[in-house]
Amino acid sequence: MKYDYDVIVIGGGAAGYVSSKLVKGLGKKVLVVERNRLGGECSHSGCVPSKAFIKTSQVAYQLNKLNDYSLFIDNTDHVKLNGKKALDYVRKIIDLTVEDHQPQSLTDYGIDLIMGTASFLDPHTIQINEKQLTAKKFILTGGSAPFVPPIPGLDKVSYFTNENFFDQKELPESMLVLGGGAIGIELAQSLNRLGVQTTVVEMMDQILFREDQELVEILVKQLEQEGLNLLTKTKAVKVEYVDKKIHLTVEQEGQNKVIIGDQILVAVGRKPNIEGLDLEKASVKYNRKGIEVNEKLQTSASHIFACGDIAGPYQFSHMAEYQAVIAGKNAVLPFSSKVNYQHVLWTTFTAPELAHAGLTEAEARKQYGDRIQIYHYPYHYLDRAKADSNMEGLAKIILDPKGYIIGAHILGYHAGEFIHEVQILKTLGIKFTKIQKVIHGYPTYSDMIRQMGKIAFVDSIRNNFFVKLIGKLRKK
């Protein structure tokens, strides 16, 4: 059978861009279908704008700490900040970013593009607007959208998600944030630093529940010290709009109480964009978490692949790109590749940043018991951190019984940057003690990794069987 395209990619976000360009580079005829905006959620309402917002709030925070650096303005010790227009800067950054995601960026590469909603008619045919097109292979990269929980009254009030949060013209006086995950905490801290009275409501025992508990506890102290109100073990029960205010009824330890704010932000998770695809007609199985795929990113229909947020299990742009390469190759090459999630990492861009690679301490102990080795290094040991007044933080490396890295967690300034040094060792299967041989610049933040490696190296010598034996013989 002759098809219109070798591959049709449904979705023009990070995974769609990477997979379509890879497939085209391998000599195939490709079509990308995007129903909304090229560039995906990350460019328009996720990763990039949130980091711009975080940068704005960091500048505001530093302005109010001028005294710490012996700096003064007009002989006063406090700068009065008006952060209401802070989102203007964010929108400038969004415009700058999406310049790289114009239709021409695909068409110049030889990739066809249709803006519209695609739905399957059969396993090899889709309908887009009024047109029907066929393909030998498909790659589904539709991304995800904010999940809005069925809290009574929420649908009766105006609320924000990350999709419309950056459309605000001015910041409110107060904000209620539902959800203590990465999106909720990043935006909540930024709002608080810009003068918005902010309260976070989280059902779990701790915010950022996927992170190492020891580091989260340090971060919580920092956030609360800045004035952010964190309510954990707290369930949102009802939302009402009373006297131009949001009244949120929450349950804590069996008791109900009402907290009040000008606006409410919903950040409790995300859902896959599978509505309207008519996946049943293509024999593609899915569930509430997304499209079901195997380790080759094939769906239940072997000629259809899925990657990125729509397939999970990780909803990060860097994971979408990683999966897109595998899905693209598997769709057109005679040999197949498999995903490997052993070395997933991510960063929560709070201040200080919280970077995560591998197992937490709890997960490591569950798998290895007490045979693990744990190394800590506080930021206040670093001369560079002292010079910059960035002494809040802790690095934590977890090793298996043989000395290989199974977990790395860094809370502190630029943690998201130099955790990659640990990630390289972990991914390449190099023992942690090897890092002590690598010359590091001074004074730098990444030198803490070498310092921890030196400690681990000394421990490895001390615990060596022959060294221990010699020590015992000498005692005799």
Check pLDDT > 90 for residue 209: yes
Least confident of 10-14, 27-31, 69-73: 69-73
Cα angle value 45/46/52 (rounded, 5°):
90
- pLDDT tens profile 380-400: 999 999 999 999 999 999 999
Strand segments (E) across 275-344? 286-287, 290-291, 304-306
Cβ of 87: how many Cβ atoms within 10 Å? 22
pLDDT at residue 38, rounded to an integer: 86
- Which pLDDT score is estimated for 73? 75
Give the span between the Cα atoms of 154 and 169, in whole angstroms.
Answer: 22
Which residues have a Cβ under 8 Å from the Cβ of 366 and sit 6 or more positions away? none
Q: State the angle between helix axes of 447-462 and 415-428 in degrees (0 to 180), rounded to the nearest 10.
A: 40
Find out whether the peptide bond into 443 is cis, omega within 30 degrees of 0: yes
Alpha-carbon distance of 276 to 278, in angstroms, equals: 5
pLDDT tens across 362-376, in order? 999 999 999 999 999
Closest CA to 165 of 38, 219, 210, 179: 179
Domains (range + CATH), the chain: 5-145+271-332 (3.50.50.60), 154-268 (3.50.50.60), 352-466 (3.30.390.30)
80 pLDDT more than 80: no
Residue 9 has pLDDT above 70, yes or no: yes
The candidate with the shortest Cα–Cα distance to 165, out of 280, 54, 46, is 46
> CB under 8 Å to 115, separation ≥6 — which residues?
33, 34, 35, 103
Look at residue 83 and tell me whether its pLDDT is greater than 90: no
70: confidence class by pLDDT, cuts 50, 70, 90: confident
Q: Looking at the predicted structure, is the pLDDT value of residue 469 above 60?
A: no
- Which positions ≥6 away from 97 have C-beta within 8 Å? 39, 43, 48
pLDDT in tens, 100-139: 778 888 999 999 999 999 999 999 999 999 899 999 999 9
Q: Report the pLDDT value the prediction gives residue 79, as an integer from 0 to 100.
A: 60
| 399: three-class secondary structure by DSSP | strand
468 confidence band (pLDDT: 50, 70, 90): low
